[in-house]
Chains A and B, each alone.
Chain A
Amino acid sequence: MTRGFIRHFPGNLSEVKLIVNGVEYEFDLDPRTTLLDLLREHLGLTGAKKGCDHGQCGACTVLLDGRRVNSCLILAVAQQGAEVTTVEGLGTAERPHPVQRGFLDHDGFQCGYCTPGQICSAVGMLDEVKQGRPSAVTTPGDDLLSDAEIRERMSGNLCRCGAYPNMVPAIRQAAGE
């Protein structure tokens, strides 16, 4: 049994500048490096998690220029000059972001592995709601923060522990702050 060959990457590195959690970095990167691997393997920002590496679980969710993205699906070199916010950039244990506080107050997690992605996703989602963007379940005039809306809008972030029921009130609490 033989597998096909694809031409090997010749080894040229690509320059890219990124602002991560307010700090400007310049990298010489293997162009195959995803934003997620850049954060985890090069910057030591392991808050963004790798659950599937295929954009199927949402554990790697970060904010890219303010919008939530699956960082495993993004090549870092394609984001020249972009601003990235990870869970580490949202708040600290002493001064948590309202969404982080909501997750703490409502036990919105168990193992914690999907949690940074859930939190970044919720931050991005609340901004989308603020902009009045509809979801798949929206009908005009709806409350964009009903339970059904929150669940629909968060469905790109999987949680195998099943902490979903506690995340809904956590996110609603944060939305009120």
Chain B
Amino acid sequence: MTATVGTPLARLEGPAKVTGAARYAAEYPQDDVVHGWIVQSPVPRGRLNAVLADPTADAIAVLWHGNAPRLEPADDPELDVLQSDRISYRGQPVALVVAETLEAARRAAQVLQLDITAEEHDAVLRADHPGLYTPEQVNPAFPSETASGDVDAALAAAPVTVDVTYSTPALHNSPMEPHATIARWAGDDLTLYDSNQHPSGIAATVAGVFGLEPERVHVVTEHVGGGFGSKGSARPNAVLAAMAARVVGRPVKLVLPRQAMFSLVGYRTPTIQQIRLGADPDGTLTAIDHAAIGQSSRILEYAEQTAVVTRHMYAAPNRRTGHRLLRLDMPTPRWMRAPGEAPGMAAFECALDELAEKLGIDPIELRVRNEPAAEPEGGTPFTSRHYVECLRTGAERFGWAGRDPRPRQRREGDWWIGTGVAGAIYPTMAQPSTARVRAVGDDFEVAIGAADLGTGARTILTQIAADALGVPVDRVRVRIGDSTLPKASVAGGSSGSASWGWAVTGACRQLRETGGDEAVFDTTELIEKQETEGRHAFGAHFAEVRVDAVTGEVRVSRLFGMYAAGRILNPRTARSQFLGGMIMGMGMALHEEGVLDPAMGEWMNHDLAGYHIPAHADVESIDAAWLDERDDQLNPMGSKGIGEIGIVGSPAAIVNAVWHATGVRVRDLPVRLDKLLCAD
């Protein structure tokens, strides 16, 4: 048998997706279905006293805290929907309207009158806010602060220093498929067709809210139109749909309008990051200090791990990282592709570029000179680290050699041209999961409650199973996307393939060894025994930009990512994921910005016209490549996560290239043309 892992097998659901046959959450036909529409708070803080429904509107039900069924308190207070009169952010669901048709539901929601007592609010993150505090932990459970050596003394003694503050804006996940749920009850059994990244997790959460045993809730998640972190846990739509379905005794379909997603499904926190670096004239770092500020809501502490990435990246004897948080009358920020790493590295890799400029050292050489032999904090050996090789090989492929280090040197017509580089890192994780394999005639059915958000999970798991069973892929059928299947971890943290592939490998090998009809494999014990430090994927990003000397328009002429990310299980889907991450990073560098209206406590540009995600015309020459990295300490496949690393380095590479083109350091992302023009 020739191995299929490592070959570019086309996505198995491809034909269904290109013909419109693939069903997403809101697309399951239901007899007697009715439609829900969320009414959101128009004020950021206050109390809802009463609602007054228009009797001429055809609502079947109007639910609000005055009449909604009582729920069990959830771990995530945002799921305690319609349980209290308290309004904690603009956009919070304060009522739910149910009607026979979508048109009627939308209309009834529009004309619902809200009697609200508004209160003073505070929506602006700033570095001198007296409410800033140090959280105990940052996402998911890292210490908020670390320190070793004497950073202040080392900085005072360093011949060359950089002390810069970078800021990154609020960013919105914006998957193309809005969060959606169809809820249907049969007695105390609840079925949810729901768009999410974790079917069994959603089932457990919703069961808890309704006081049910987890097996009473069945979550179906066959196809997911992207999530990028925003569908990692249950969102209010799942609970509201289930609540409404119970009240009206009919299936309820609830799809979030695009505008509602900007406040209801999480976003990437804005950050303010002070980075201080001390170095010897030869480029050896003597001190690293990374202090990050982020925000959260009144109802939930989400503290993003913005500076944690700096703990793993470069050597320096004196080092400190820390986080402070501000709670505001704003929606709760949550995971968005590479939470922590993306904004942290966007700032840090730009600061490092500033240091290279000051030292007069090539930015690649500066990085190479500070390559650590082991984890810079704690000293755990790396299972594999080929960061320097990524920089060197990438530089060769990109054509870095001979680059004039001086900014604002290359002009072609109206365009200033520049190039930039930035490193990338993403932790390699695996989370406990269980898989089952059954022999069905000559074929095999593999079952695991995973979710394919467009990552290629279904395809890769089929390849992994085929190899482990020693059969061709066409004899393997993989079932995923259902909470009644063996329990899988969340499709997040770039850990899906490692976590689920490990369980699938275990089950298939066991079946082969025992020769039975069925095998079940749970990785919990194996994973709990694993070291968690010293496991990362690495990468280097290279960008060439051109900046219009007249208008300040920035175009990314070339973008290249070179990765060392373990064994690449499917080069076809892997390349797509790398490129997708890099393109989202381009959006972070140049386009994307949740613009706050402080008076209303609202993201003003809360739709896809005002919040620009990269479009076809924004992407010119782009490519990704990878080293043939072998690492047998991680999991049976030797794989590292690849879903997020693309967004970790590409923003800084582009911002550094903009500086090289123009001589302007833009330290508040995104790089808008006005920031370049006003700098002149």
Whether both chains belong to one complex is answered with yes
The residue on A at minimum CB distance from B261 is: A52
- Tell me, yes or no, whether A161 is within 8 Å of chain B by CB: yes
A51-B177, A109-B17, A119-B18 given as contacts; is B583 within 8 A of A164 (CB)? yes
- Nearest CB to that of A159 among chain B residues? B176
B179 to chain A, nearest CB (A): 12
Which residue from chain A places its CB closest to the CB of B227 in the assembled complex? A111
Question: A52 contacts B607, CB within 8 Å?
Answer: yes
Instruction: Annotate B619-659 by CB proximity to A: 1 below 8 A, 0 otherwise.
Output: 11010000000000000000000000000000000000000
Query: A57-B258, A110-B455 are known contacts; what are 6 more A-B pairs with Cβ within 8 Å?
Result: A1-B118, A3-B110, A32-B107, A54-B608, A93-B16, A112-B17
- B18 near A88: Cβ-Cβ < 8 Å: no
Q: What chain B residues lie within 8 Å of A165 (beta carbons)?
A: 579, 619, 622
Check B124 for interface membership: any CB of A closer than 8 A: no
**Does A162 lie within 8 Å of B102, measured CB to CB?**
no
- Interface presence of B250 (CB below 8 A): no
A interface footprint on B31-65 (CB within 8 Å = 1, 0 otherwise): 00000000000110000000000101110000000
Q: How far does the Cβ of B499 sit from chain A's closest Cβ, in whole Å?
A: 20
B15 at the interface (CB under 8 A from A): yes
**Chain B contacts for A147, CB-based, 8 A:** 620
Partner of A107, one of B10, B257, B608: B10
**Contact at B118–A152, with CB atoms within 8 Å?**
no
> Are A162 and B582 interface neighbours, CB within 8 A?
yes
- Is there a chain B Cβ closer than 8 Å to A86's Cβ? yes
A53 to B613, CA, bound (A): 17
- Cα-based distance from A100 to B258 in the complex (angstroms): 27
Measured in the bound complex, the distance between the Cα atoms of B614 and A103 in whole Å is 20
Q: Give residues 583-621 of B contacting A (CB, 8 Å).
A: 583-584, 607-609, 613-617, 619-620
Cβ contacts under 8 Å, B104 to chain A: 30
Nearest 5 A/B pairs, CB to CB: A47-B20, A113-B225, A111-B454, A162-B583, A110-B454
* Contact A158-B615, Cβ < 8 Å, known A57-B176, A163-B576, A166-B576: yes
Smallest CB separation, A136 vs chain B (Å): 9
Tell me whether B85 is interfacial, beta carbon within 8 Å: no
A66 close to B (CB within 8 Å): no
Q: With A112-B17, A165-B579 in contact, is A160–B228 under 8 Å at CB? A: yes
Which residues of chain B are within 8 angstroms of A11 by Cβ–Cβ distance?
Answer: 58
Q: Which residue of chain A has the shortest Cβ distance to B35 in the bound complex?
A: A41
The contact sample of 11 A-B pairs, CB cut-off 8 A, is A5-B54, A30-B101, A44-B29, A54-B607, A87-B18, A88-B21, A96-B18, A109-B11, A111-B453, A112-B454, A162-B582
At the interface, yes or no: A48 with Cβ under 8 Å from chain B?
yes
Q: In whole angstroms, what is the CA distance A33 to B35 when docked? A: 14
Complex Cα distance, B546 from A145, in Å, reads 23
Q: A1-B114, A48-B20 are in contact. Are A111 and B258 (CB under 8 A)?
A: no
Given contacts A32-B103, A96-B19, A110-B454, contact A2 B617 (CB under 8 A): no
Whether A79 is near chain B, meaning CB under 8 Å from some CB there, is: no
B577 and A110 within 8 A (CB): yes
A113 and B24 form a contact (CB under 8 A): yes
Q: Are A88 and B619 in contact, with the CB atoms below 8 A?
A: no
Q: Shortest beta-carbon distance, A76 to chain B, in Å?
A: 11
Task: A150 to B619: give the CA distance in the assembly, Å.
Answer: 11
How far does the alpha carbon of A173 sit from the alpha carbon of B114 in the complex, in Å?
A: 55
Q: For residue B619, which residues in chain A have a CB less than 8 angstroms away from its CB?
A: 151, 162, 164-165
B613 touches A160 (CB 8 A): yes
Q: Are A107 and B20 in contact (CB under 8 A)?
A: no
Given A96-B18, A115-B18: A161 touches B29 (CB 8 Å cut-off): no
Please give, as numbers and ranges, the residues of chain B lying within 8 Å of A166 by CB-CB distance: 576, 579
B174 CB–A CB distance under 8 Å: yes
**A50–B579 touching, CB < 8 Å:** no
Closest to B584 in A: A162
* Contacting residues, chain B, for A163 (C-beta < 8 A): 576, 579-580
Complex interface residues of chain A between 21 and 73 (CB less than 8 A to chain B): 30, 32-33, 37, 40-41, 44-54, 56-57, 59
- Residues of B in contact, count (CB < 8 Å): 75
Q: With a CB–CB cut-off of 8 A, which chain B residues contact A114?
A: 176, 225
Please tell me if the beta carbons of A154 and B616 are within 8 angstroms of each other in the complex: yes
Q: Which residues of B contact A46 (CB under 8 A)?
A: 20, 23-24, 26-27
Asked if B662 lies at the interface with its beta carbon under 8 angstroms from chain A, I say no
Tell me, rounded to whole Å, the shortest Cβ–Cβ distance linking A91 to chain B.
6
Who on chain B is nearest to A112 by CB? B17
Nearest opposing residue in chain A for B14, CB measure: A104
A56's nearest neighbour on chain B, judged by CB, is B608
Inter-subunit contact B609/A56 (CB<8 Å): yes
A84 at the interface (CB under 8 A from B): no
Render B221-240 as a binary contact track against A, CB cut-off 8 A, 1 for contact.
00111101000000000000
A43 to chain B, nearest CB (A): 11
Whole-angstrom distance between the Cβ of A168 and the nearest chain B Cβ: 8
Bound-state CA distance A92–B29 (Å) is 21
Quick check: is B677 within 8 A (CB to CB) of the other chain?
Answer: no
Assembled-state Cα–Cα distance A41/B255 (Å)? 13
Closest to A8 in B: B56
Kindly name the residue among B24, B27, B112, B225 whose own CB sees the greatest number of chain A CB atoms within 10 A.
B225
Q: Is A113 touching B579 in the complex (CB atoms < 8 A)?
A: no
- Residues in A1-20 with C-beta less than 8 Å from chain B: 1-3, 5-6, 8-9, 11
CB of A112 within 8 A of CB of B22, answer yes
- Asked if B572 is an interface residue, CB under 8 A from chain A, the answer is yes
A100 touches B176 (CB 8 A): no
Please determine whether B20 and A160 come into contact, CB atoms closer than 8 angstroms. no
- A158 in contact with B176 (CB, 8 Å): yes
Indicate whether A124 reaches chain B with its CB closer than 8 angstroms.
no
Distance of A174 from chain B, by nearest CB (Å)? 11
Residues B617 and A155 in contact, CB atoms below 8 Å apart: yes
Residues of A within 8 A of B177 (CB): 49, 51, 111, 113
The distance in angstroms between the C-alpha atoms of A49 and B224, with both chains bound, is 12
Residues of chain B within 8 A (CB-CB) of A45 are 20
Q: Say yes or no: is B380 at the interface (Cβ < 8 Å to chain A).
A: no
Q: Which residues of A contact B226 (CB under 8 A)?
A: 110-111, 113, 160-161
Given A50-B178, A161-B226, A162-B614, residue A91 in contact with residue B19 (CB < 8 A): yes
Closest CB in chain A relative to B557 CB, distance in Å: 12
Q: Could you tell me if A3 and B113 are in contact, using CB atoms closer than 8 angstroms?
A: yes
Say how far A164's CB is from chain B's closest CB, in angstroms.
5
Least CB distance from B518 to A in Å reads: 31
Contact A88 to B19, CB < 8 A, known contacts A160-B174, A165-B579: yes
**Which listed residue (B107, B116, B616) contacts A9, Cβ 8 A?**
B107
Interface residues of B in 189-232 (CB under 8 A from A): 223-226, 228
Contact A3 B114 (CB under 8 A): yes
Closest residue of B by beta carbon distance from A44: B29
A68 to chain B, nearest CB (A): 14
CB distance from B450 to the nearest CB of A (A): 15
Give CA–CA (A170, B456) in the complex, Å: 19
A37 surroundings in chain B (CB, below 8 A) = 102-103
Give chain A nearest CB distance to B589 CB in angstroms.
14
Q: Are B175 and A41 touching (Cβ within 8 A)? A: no
Please tell me if the beta carbons of A51 and B27 are within 8 angstroms of each other in the complex. Answer: no
List chain A residues, Cβ under 8 A from B110.
Answer: 3, 6
B573 touches A (CB below 8 Å) = yes
B21–A93 contact, CB under 8 A? yes
Contact of B616 among A40, A54, A157 (CB under 8 A): A157
A140-155 CB contact bits vs B (8 Å, 1 = yes)? 0000000110111011
Which A residues lie within 8 Å of B21 (CB)?
47, 88, 93
CB distance from A18 to the nearest CB of B (A): 17
A126 contacts chain B at the CB level, 8 A cutoff: no
Q: Indicate if the CB atoms of A41 and B176 lie closer than 8 Å.
A: no
| A100/B616 contact (C-beta < 8 A), A52-B258, A113-B225 known | no
Given the known inter-chain contacts A96-B18, A107-B573, A165-B622, please indicate yes or no for A2 contacting B13, CB distance below 8 A.
Answer: no
